Amino acid sequence: MQAPFTLPFERFWNWLVTHPNCILRAGTVDAILYDDEDLHWHFAAESDSGLVVQVLRGKRFVGELLIDPEQVTYVQAVPTDREDEHHFEMISEGETDRVASYFFVMAHGYEDQDESVFTPTRVH
């Protein structure tokens, strides 16, 4: 079980887009997108304030998450009992509430990377 920790949304997002093949599932309280062998994950920016995570089968659209980074206060790693699943919640905090607006379940934990060598096209 990995110890809980938090990190800024931008750092998590920069790491996430370099690991699309490591996403097992992603979603919100209302919907979940699951990975499968014949699906792939695509990341895009709709505008300055909107980020898009899409699941595609070939060129066919399967589903998407629309993320407003202005609404995400930080990202929290959530410990699990499974060694092959690592949960990350995008937390939105208001004056009186704290909500996990989005989540990603990854095949491995967060790995800090040197942002000076960040290459968004790197995939593993």
Structure tokens at 118: 């960040």
- Res. 124: pLDDT tops 60: no
Query: What are the tens digits of pLDDT across the range 12-55?
Result: 999 999 999 999 999 999 999 999 999 999 999 987 679 999 99
β-strands 98-106, 32-34 pairing: unpaired
Instruction: Please state, in angstroms and rounded to a whole number, the distance separating the CA atoms of residues 30 and 73.
Output: 20
- Rounded to an integer, the average pLDDT of 52-74 is 94
- Res. 112: pLDDT tops 60: yes
- Res. 93: pLDDT tops 70: yes
Beta partners for residue 45, in sequence order: 51
Global pTM reads 0.84
- In one letter, which amino acid is 72? V
Is residue 77 within 8 Å of residue 91, measured between CB atoms? no
Segments making up each domain of the chain, as ranges: 5-107
